[in-house]
């Protein structure tokens, strides 16, 4: 039994009437996107995507519009059928489910939040949140009780009997989130949920969302076009371009070691102070790095996961280099003021 | 610095444009690129004269693929040439001349008779003589008119000639402007035809070669051959087609009798039920129920209106007839909605059904009602059920169309949202799509009711009695007052029903603020 809640293996999605032949041609002849469009009139939406998401992780998929990220997330609850490849959610092979099973999985195990909320305009907030439970034929009173609780999780007590259009955009999106949480699903799919909101509300909702999913232990796939948002929210980030995942890693890995120029371009403007930790920039402890006249005994010691921001704070209080220790307390490296400055400047190798 | 750059750009653009104009025109590229540049650099209307277009008008238009130019030029040319032809060869005043000759000979005849009578000493001799002089005077008048018309020939030639020259100058002046517009369209959209086409030139010339002689002949000959003036239609085609259709209708009516009777009797069951409720129930009960419904469903204002409308119907003695009409209309509208709404949903969901239904709905709406009254009488006889059927044909399309439109307009994002939470297709339709399409469906129902009502008079033609009969009678006897009163009664019935139905289906939930 693995802890991977979501597993994707070589998933392809080709749009168009001749998608099967196009898929075959890609397999046999290795056609590229442009050639497929020309020969079959088919558009390649998702190209050979594989990833896994372990339980409780927030997995961000970042890409610009048209990169296929929204298409990809819709494969996870089979709103879109893959042309090829395997998709497993909670140990279930999604393609093998029949209609009824699929509806059950969608209602019970996968919650989804949309960029444009997709609330039912003719229903009250409470009935909107209760919709997934209604689909599961939960009795009315029970589902209202549960929905009430879900609404209080997103701080929307007292708005139960309003209609969606009477609420602000941020509140509507919280209703969307409450609806996704109502049937207590293991998996949350977030399709650019905060993109349409103004920056202040967005920031507030991001924080609320992270603390909520962490306490509720939801496995989340989060789509965004905003790298800042991905870094703030994601445990891991995948960068998507033209239907392919071009790099997957922790925010720190992405910022420190961009896989190619495209990713590098993206992360250029990102501040690394909070992302990069001491072990990424520290020097080895040896005679080259430690000047003979320095007594390290008086130096400050800190954990190797200390961020650059904290290192700066420590560094202004002392003239000595800072000694870095691992979890066991053993000295593993040293950060001098020079190393720190180079680290802040970033990407070391530049 | 910037300036020189701009200049360089301009000359580069000029060069590019000149090349593309050459590609566009294929022939005389130099001429056209110079002319186009002149047109494009001027701020006001430009004088640019195209000699080829002026002289060869239609041929130029055809060869250059400007068919609008071809046709306008052809029409103007034909007009001018017909005038010229009439002036030159037409026997103008020929009819007047013939008339003069006829009158003259008659007058001579009369004079001869008068002579005979005079010699015989008959009493009518004087009268005959007077007749003869009168006829002679008329003959003189006719021949004068003929001479005048013949003299008009010169004027016609003059007018034709001036018109021809004017047309040529005008097409010469317009040609380059039109061609430049076409070039601009071609530059944006390469499917626009370009170049110089000999095939088109041939087609244009052939068309002119057919049209010009026929036109000249028709207008200059004194007595053109008959087949040119009137299409030599064959009566027997029409007769056999209509008799074939007659027999087809008869056959269908004969073999489908059981089917048609079934429909008739099932409509009658519905209608009888409604009539029992509306006509046979005592009027105070009906009034009370209608008022209560209007008040509860549509509010006090509609209730007050309903009181006034019902009073009108009652005091003018239309009560029973209006109830019969409402029963008729109610049966028709119920059937329309029962069939139309599900069918509209099907149209929205299924593209094949939609593409088949669309022309049929168009047919139902545009076909004049009198045309389908005939087969309805053939299949279903006369009376109220056939009247309801005729009303159905006319009243069904709006509810089908607007239901389909409403369902199609449900935002796909909301449908997707519902599906993502495991919603089944049935639940999606009942709890998401229909509620969201309700406004549109209601508009359709409203339209259908009003359309059904407008058919009441026509349906009364085939024996569907009610208020329509009154209007029909008024029409037959030109009774203006009676017609207007009955017409208003129909209107009030429609408004009461419409308001109550609207109130009944008002979307639930709190009103928007």
According to DSSP, the residues that pair with A324 across neighbouring strands are: A302, A333
Is there a contact between B413 and A124 if contact means CB atoms under 8 Å apart? no
According to DSSP, the residues that pair with B268 across neighbouring strands are: none
B233 three-state secondary structure: coil
**The pLDDT of residue B508:** 47
Distance of alpha carbon B177 from alpha carbon B38, whole angstroms: 10
- Predicted confidence (pLDDT) at residue B54 exceeds the cutoff of 80: yes
Q: Exposed, middle or buried, A190 (CB in 10 Å: 0-12/13-18/19+)?
A: buried
Distance of alpha carbon B486 from alpha carbon B466, whole angstroms: 10
For residue B510, which residues of chain A lie inside 8 Å, CB to CB?
Answer: 163
Categorize the per-residue pLDDT at B2 as very low, low, confident or very high, splitting at 50, 70 and 90.
low
Three-point CA angle B77, B78, B82, nearest 5°? 120
**Which among B419, B432, B513 has the least Cβ separation from residue A120?**
B432
| pLDDT tens per residue, range B423-447 | 999 999 999 999 999 889 988 988 8
From A135, which residue of chain B is nearest by alpha-carbon distance? B423
Categorize the per-residue pLDDT at B7 as very low, low, confident or very high, splitting at 50, 70 and 90.
low
Of A298-312, B90-104, B144-158, B200-214, highest mean pLDDT: B200-214
Categorize the per-residue pLDDT at A349 as very low, low, confident or very high, splitting at 50, 70 and 90.
very low
Distance of alpha carbon B475 from alpha carbon B413, whole angstroms: 55
A76 CA to chain B: closest CA distance, Å? 10
Categorize the per-residue pLDDT at B420 as very low, low, confident or very high, splitting at 50, 70 and 90.
very high
Is there a contact between A179 and B421 if contact means CB atoms under 8 Å apart? yes
Categorize the per-residue pLDDT at A31 as very low, low, confident or very high, splitting at 50, 70 and 90.
confident
Q: What average pLDDT is seen over chain A?
A: 87
A137 lies within 8 A of chain B by CB: no
A270 lies within 8 A of chain B by CB: no
**The pLDDT of residue B509:** 42
Q: Which CATH architecture has domain A53-109+185-267?
A: 3-Layer(aba) Sandwich (3.40)
Largest CA distance in chain B: 120
- DSSP assignment letter at A118: -
Q: What are B's interface residues with A at a Cβ cutoff of 8 A?
A: 411, 413-414, 416-424, 427, 431-432, 435-436, 507-510, 512-513
A133 three-state secondary structure: helix
**The pLDDT of residue A2:** 56
Ramachandran angles phi, psi of A47, nearest 5°: -120, 105
B407 CA to chain A: closest CA distance, Å? 15
Run of H or E residues at B216: helix B198-220
**The pLDDT of residue A282:** 84
Is there a contact between B509 and A114 if contact means CB atoms under 8 Å apart? no
Q: What average pLDDT is seen over chain B?
A: 86
* Interface ipTM: 0.83
Which two tokens mark A112? 């989804």
**Which among A103, A123, A189 has the least Cβ separation from residue B422?**
A103
For residue B427, which residues of chain A lie inside 8 Å, CB to CB?
Answer: 135
B508 CA to chain A: closest CA distance, Å? 8
Return the residue matching tokens 């204002």.
B301
Mutate to test the interface with B, among A79, A80, A121 (most CBs of B within 10 A): A121
* Alpha helices by DSSP H, chain A: 19-29, 33-40, 69-76, 99-108, 125-129, 131-135, 140-153, 169-182, 199-216, 227-233, 251-256, 261-267, 278-281, 308-315, 337-345
Which two tokens mark B220? 């200059």
A163 lies within 8 A of chain B by CB: yes
**The pLDDT of residue B401:** 94
Q: Which of B371, B453, B364 is nearest to B400 (CA)?
A: B364
Categorize the per-residue pLDDT at A343 as very low, low, confident or very high, splitting at 50, 70 and 90.
confident
Is there a contact between A135 and B432 if contact means CB atoms under 8 Å apart? no
Is there a contact between A106 and B420 if contact means CB atoms under 8 Å apart? yes
Taking CA atoms, A122 is separated from A149, B271, B345, B438, in Å, by: 22, 36, 19, 10
| A168-172, B176-180, B188-192: the lowest-pLDDT one | B188-192
| pLDDT tens per residue, range A13-27 | 999 888 888 888 888
A135 CA to chain B: closest CA distance, Å? 6
**The pLDDT of residue B507:** 53
For residue A183, which residues of chain B lie inside 8 Å, CB to CB?
Answer: 421
Among residues 95-124 of chain A, which lie with CB inside 8 Å of chain B?
102-108, 110-112, 114, 116-124
| pLDDT tens per residue, range B488-502 | 998 898 888 888 877
Is there a contact between B414 and A119 if contact means CB atoms under 8 Å apart? yes
According to DSSP, the residues that pair with A43 across neighbouring strands are: A15
Largest CA distance in chain A: 77
Run of H or E residues at B181: helix B125-188
Q: Which CATH architecture has domain A278-345?
A: Roll (3.10)
A222 three-state secondary structure: strand
Q: Where are the domains of chain A?
A: 53-109+185-267, 278-345
Distance of alpha carbon B341 from alpha carbon B395, whole angstroms: 12
**The pLDDT of residue A350:** 40
User: B61-88 burial, b for 16+ CB within 10 Å, e for fewer?
Assistant: bbbbbbeebbebbbebbbebbbbbbbbe
Is there a contact between B420 and A77 if contact means CB atoms under 8 Å apart? yes
A84 CA to chain B: closest CA distance, Å? 21
Categorize the per-residue pLDDT at B505 as very low, low, confident or very high, splitting at 50, 70 and 90.
low
Taking CA atoms, A33 is separated from A82, A248, A260, in Å, by: 17, 22, 20
**The pLDDT of residue A299:** 81
User: A83-99 burial, b for 16+ CB within 10 Å, e for fewer?
Assistant: bbbebbbbeeebeebee
Tell me what the mean pLDDT of segment A247-260 comes to. Answer: 88
- DSSP assignment letter at A94: G
Is there a contact between A112 and B419 if contact means CB atoms under 8 Å apart? no
**The pLDDT of residue B288:** 93
Tell me what the mean pLDDT of segment A329-339 comes to. Answer: 83
> How many A/B residue pairs have CB atoms within 8 Å?
72
**The pLDDT of residue B4:** 59
Query: Would you say B458 and B374 are in contact if contact means Cβ atoms under 8 Å apart?
Result: no
| pLDDT tens per residue, range B218-260 | 887 777 788 888 888 888 999 999 999 989 988 988 888 889 9
Query: Would you say B104 and B139 are in contact if contact means Cβ atoms under 8 Å apart?
Result: yes
Is there a contact between A163 and B509 if contact means CB atoms under 8 Å apart? yes
**The pLDDT of residue B513:** 35
**The pLDDT of residue B506:** 64
Q: Which of A331, A105, A25 is nearest to B420 (CA)?
A: A105
| pLDDT tens per residue, range B323-349 | 888 888 888 988 999 999 999 999 999
A37 lies within 8 A of chain B by CB: no
Which two tokens mark B234? 């064959």
Categorize the per-residue pLDDT at A186 as very low, low, confident or very high, splitting at 50, 70 and 90.
very high
Q: Is the dihedral of CA A276, A281, A284, A289 positive or negative?
A: negative
Tell me what the mean pLDDT of segment B71-83 comes to. Answer: 90
| pLDDT tens per residue, range B378-403 | 888 888 889 999 999 989 999 999 99
Is there a contact between A119 and B510 if contact means CB atoms under 8 Å apart? no
A131 lies within 8 A of chain B by CB: yes
**The pLDDT of residue A348:** 44
Which two tokens mark B428? 């999606």
Q: Exposed, middle or buried, A281 (CB in 10 Å: 0-12/13-18/19+)?
A: buried
Distance of alpha carbon B315 from alpha carbon B307, whole angstroms: 12
Strand order in the sheet with A301-303: A301-303, A322-325, A331-335
Tell me what the mean pLDDT of segment B459-473 comes to. Answer: 87
Taking CA atoms, B351 is separated from B346, B354, B356, B358, in Å, by: 9, 5, 9, 10
From B437, which residue of chain A is nearest by alpha-carbon distance? A122
For residue A118, which residues of chain B lie inside 8 Å, CB to CB?
Answer: 411, 413-414, 416-418, 420
Tell me what the mean pLDDT of segment B123-143 comes to. Answer: 82
**The pLDDT of residue B205:** 92
A174 CA to chain B: closest CA distance, Å? 15
Mutate to test the interface with A, among B412, B414, B422, B438 (most CBs of A within 10 A): B422
Which two tokens mark B88? 């030159």
Tell me what the mean pLDDT of segment A174-199 comes to. Answer: 91
Tell me what the mean pLDDT of segment A155-175 comes to. Answer: 91
A261 CA to chain B: closest CA distance, Å? 34
**The pLDDT of residue A1:** 46
From A121, which residue of chain B is nearest by alpha-carbon distance? B436
Confidence (pTM): 0.72
| pLDDT tens per residue, range A74-120 | 999 999 999 999 999 998 999 899 999 999 999 999 999 999 889 99
Is there a contact between B513 and A131 if contact means CB atoms under 8 Å apart? no
Distance of alpha carbon B229 from alpha carbon B233, whole angstroms: 12
Taking phi over 0 as left and psi of -120 to 50 as alpha, with beta for the rest, B350 belongs to: beta
**The pLDDT of residue B421:** 93
Mutate to test the interface with B, among A101, A110, A122 (most CBs of B within 10 A): A122
């Amino acid at each position: 039994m693995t802890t991977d809640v979501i597993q994707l293996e070589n998933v392809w999605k080709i749009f168009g009437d001749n998608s099967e032949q196009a898929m075959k041609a890609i397999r046999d002849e290795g056609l590229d996107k442009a050639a497929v469009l020309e020969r079959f009139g088919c558009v390649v939406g998702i190209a050979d995507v594989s990833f896994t998401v372990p339980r409780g992780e927030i997995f961000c998929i970042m890409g610009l519009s048209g990169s296929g990220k929204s298409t990809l997330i819709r494969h996870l609850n089979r709103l879109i059928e893959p042309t090829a490849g395997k998709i497993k959610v909670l140990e279930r092979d999604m393609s093998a489910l029949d209609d009824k099973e699929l509806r059950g999985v969608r209602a019970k195990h996968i919650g989804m939040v949309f960029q444009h909320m997709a609330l039912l305009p003719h229903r009250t907030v409470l009935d909107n949140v209760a919709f997934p439970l209604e689909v599961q034929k939960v009795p009315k009173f029970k589902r209202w009780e549960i929905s009430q609780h879900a609404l209080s999780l997103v701080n929307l007590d007292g708005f139960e009997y309003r209609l969606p259009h009477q609420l602000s955009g941020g509140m509507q999106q919280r209703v969307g989130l409450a609806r996704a949480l109502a049937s207590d699903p293991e998996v949350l799919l977030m399709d650019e949920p905060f993109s349409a909101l103004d920056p202040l509300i967005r920031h507030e909702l991001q924080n609320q969302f992270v603390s909520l999913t962490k306490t509720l232990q939801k496995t989340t796939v989060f789509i965004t076009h905003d790298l800042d948002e991905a870094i703030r929210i994601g445990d891991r980030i995948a960068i998507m371009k033209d239907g392919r995942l071009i790099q997957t890693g922790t925010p720190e890995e992405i910022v420190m070691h961009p896989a190619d120029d495209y990713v590098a371009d993206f992360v250029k403007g990102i501040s690394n102070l909070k992302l990069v930790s001491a072990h990424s920039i520290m020097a080895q402890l040896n005679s080259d790095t430690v000047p003979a006249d320095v007594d390290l005994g008086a130096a400050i010691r800190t954990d190797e996961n200390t961020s650059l921001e904290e290192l700066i704070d420590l560094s202004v209080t002392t003239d000595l280099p800072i000694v870095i220790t691992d979890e066991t307390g053993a000295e593993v490296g040293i950060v001098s003021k020079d190393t720190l400055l180079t680290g802040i400047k970033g990407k070391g190798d530049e | 610095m910037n300036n020189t750059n701009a200049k360089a750009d301009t000359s580069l653009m000029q060069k590019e444009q000149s090349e593309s104009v050459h590609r566009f025109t294929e022939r005389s590229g130099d001429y056209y690129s110079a002319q186009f540049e002149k047109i494009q650099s001027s701020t006001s209307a430009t004088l640019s004269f195209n000699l080829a277009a002026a002289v060869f008008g239609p041929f130029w238009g055809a060869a250059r693929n400007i068919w609008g130019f071809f046709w306008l030029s052809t029409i103007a040319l034909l007009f001018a040439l017909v005038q010229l032809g009439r002036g030159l060869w037409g026997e103008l005043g020929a009819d007047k001349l013939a008339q003069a000759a006829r009158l003259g000979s008659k007058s001579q005849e009369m004079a001869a008779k008068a002579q005979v009578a005079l010699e015989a000493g008959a009493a009518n001799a004087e009268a005959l003589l007077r007749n003869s002089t009168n006829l002679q005077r008329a003959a003189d008048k006719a021949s004068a008119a003929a001479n005048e018309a013949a003299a008009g020939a010169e004027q016609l030639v003059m007018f034709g000639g001036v018109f021809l020259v004017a047309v040529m100058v005008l097409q010469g002046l317009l040609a380059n402007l039109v061609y430049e517009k076409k070039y601009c369209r071609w530059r944006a959209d390469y499917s626009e035809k370009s170049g110089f086409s000999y095939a088109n030139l041939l087609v244009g010339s052939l068309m002119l070669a057919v049209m010009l002689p026929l036109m000249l002949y028709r207008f200059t000959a004194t007595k053109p051959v008959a087949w040119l003036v009137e299409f030599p239609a064959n009566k027997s085609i029409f007769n056999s087609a209509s008799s074939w259709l007659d027999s087809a209708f008869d056959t269908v009516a004969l073999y489908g009798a059981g089917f048609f009777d079934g429909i008739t009797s099932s409509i009658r069951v519905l209608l009888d039920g409604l009539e029992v409720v509306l006509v046979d129930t005592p009027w105070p009960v009906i009034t009370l129920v209608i008022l209560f419904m209007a008040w509860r469903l549509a509010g006090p204002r509609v209730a007050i209106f309903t009181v006034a409308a019902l009073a009108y119907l009652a005091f003018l003695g239309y009560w029973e007839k209006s109830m019969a009409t409402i029963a008729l209309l109610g049966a028709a509208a119920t059937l329309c909605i029962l069939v139309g709404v599900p069918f509209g949903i099907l149209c929205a969901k299924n593209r094949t059904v939609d593409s088949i239904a669309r022309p049929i709905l168009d047919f139902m709406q545009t076909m004049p009602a009198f045309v389908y009254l005939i087969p309805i009488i053939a299949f279903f006889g006369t009376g109220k059920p056939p009247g309801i059927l005729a009303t159905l044909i006319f009243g069904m399309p709006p509810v089908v169309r607007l239901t389909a439109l409403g369902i199609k307009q449900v935002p796909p994002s909301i449908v997707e949202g519902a599906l993502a939470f495991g919603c089944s297709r049935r639940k999606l339709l009942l709890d998401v799509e229909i509620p969201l399409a309700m406004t549109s469906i209601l508009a359709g129902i409203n339209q259908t009711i009003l359309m059904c009502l407008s058919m009441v008079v026509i349906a009364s033609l085939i024996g569907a009695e009610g208020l329509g009969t009154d209007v029909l009678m008024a029409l037959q006897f030109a009774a203006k007052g009676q017609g207007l009163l009955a017409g208003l009664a129909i209107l009030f019935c429609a408004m009461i029903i419409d308001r109550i139905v609207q109130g009944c289906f008002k979307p639930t939930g709190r009103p928007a603020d």
